[in-house]
Structure 1
Amino acid sequence: MNEGVEWAMHSCVNLNWIPDEAVTAKRLAAFYDLPTAYLNKQLQALTRAGILSSTSGPKGGFQLARPIERISLLDIVVAIDGPDEAFRCTEILRSGPNGDPKQDYVKTCVISQAMRQAELGYRRELAGRTIADIVAEVERTYPNAAESTRTWFANLKS
């Protein structure tokens, strides 16, 4: 999984705590000392997916485009990494000594089936968790997180 997924999820949590302000990629990147250009690519991917909205200009930046209850972790993974499955069966059994060139090994290979089942479980788990769930857990575990984040961003205006 691309590290941009982690960065995007953290950015969504932080943007939730700054609801009335567009935040630049530079400011979001500075919060975690990330490379601005690379984070900006992730934020643009979230914008294309309808998770964020972006505004250009001096008061521009990024904001959440929909309520956090409607942003699943899977939405973010797909926006950053794309919709393809993590495991790609290349049907190497076809080339083995017992291979059948007519067989569909993607569907019949035990390894392919196990990996597809694991992928389905992984995607179900991500689809069932939202940024709202993450925000609630962070706020329960770290009660000062929201306020300290707002304060940090308020003090860094560039």
Structure 2
Amino acid sequence: MRSVQGKAGGYVLTREPGSITVLDVVEAVDGPGQAFTCTEIRQRGPLATPAESCATPCAIARAMTRADAAWRAALRAVSIADLVEDVGSDSGPRALAGISAWLTAPNA
């Protein structure tokens, strides 16, 4: 993808829609980093755990890492072409033509 500046800007696909996953789009917009960043709160506060006792990720960090991996796998399994097909199936055969007309209208 590449970005287009201006009032009618957005993103332009630089590959075939079938080869671009929803995860590709998310990473192009938000970056490839994980959604959750562990800040080791267990090492702060009145009941802080000593750093040497925190050699492995805590239960919350492990759960969030698993959730992030599952989310990424699900987004990796859906392509832009799949979304286009789903719009046609969900909204009828004229939906894509209407969307295209709306996106290309001078006042869009």
Answer yes or no: same fold by TM over 0.5.
yes
Equivalent residue, structure 2, for 1:117: 66
Q: Which has the higher contact order (CA 8 A, sep 6+)?
A: 2
Q: Which of 14, 29, 36 is the aligned partner of 1:87? A: 36
Q: What pairs with 1:30-69 in structure 2 (closer than 5 Å)? A: 40=9, 43=11, 52=12, 64-69=13-18
- Secondary structure of the 1:141 match is helix
**C-alpha displacement of 1:86:** 0.8
Q: Are positions 1:149 and 2:99 aligned together?
A: yes
Judged with a 3 Å threshold, the aligned counterparts in structure 2 of structure 1 residues 25 and 128 are, in CA distance, closer, same or farther, namely: farther
1:8-52 deviation per Cα after TM superposition (whole angstroms, max 9, x unaligned): xxxx9xxxxxxxxxx87533xxxxxxxxxxxx4x63xxxxxxxx3
Q: 1:78 aligns with which of 13, 27, 40?
A: 27
Match of 2:78 among 129, 140, 143: 129
SS at match of 2:52: coil
Structure-2 change in CA distance of 1:104 and 1:139 (3 Å): same
- Do structure 1's residue 26 and structure 2's residue 10 form an aligned pair? no
Deviation at 1:114, TM superposition (A): 0.4
**Partners of 1:71 and 1:130 within 8 A in 2:** yes
TM-score by length of 2: 0.78
**Greater than 6 Å deviation, 4+ residue runs:** none
Task: Check whether the contact 1:94–1:103 (CA below 8 A) recurs between aligned residues.
Answer: no
Contact 1:70 1:130 in 2 (8 A): yes
Change (3 A) 1:87 1:152: closer
Which has the greater radius of gyration? 2
Counterpart position of 2:88 = 139
Query: What TM-score do the two structures reach when normalised by structure 1?
Result: 0.56
Match of 1:101 among 40, 51, 61: 51
Q: Percent identity?
A: 33
What RMSD in Å do the two structures reach over aligned CA positions?
2.7
Q: Partners in 1 of 2:5 and 2:97 — Cα distance? A: 19
Bigger helix share: 1
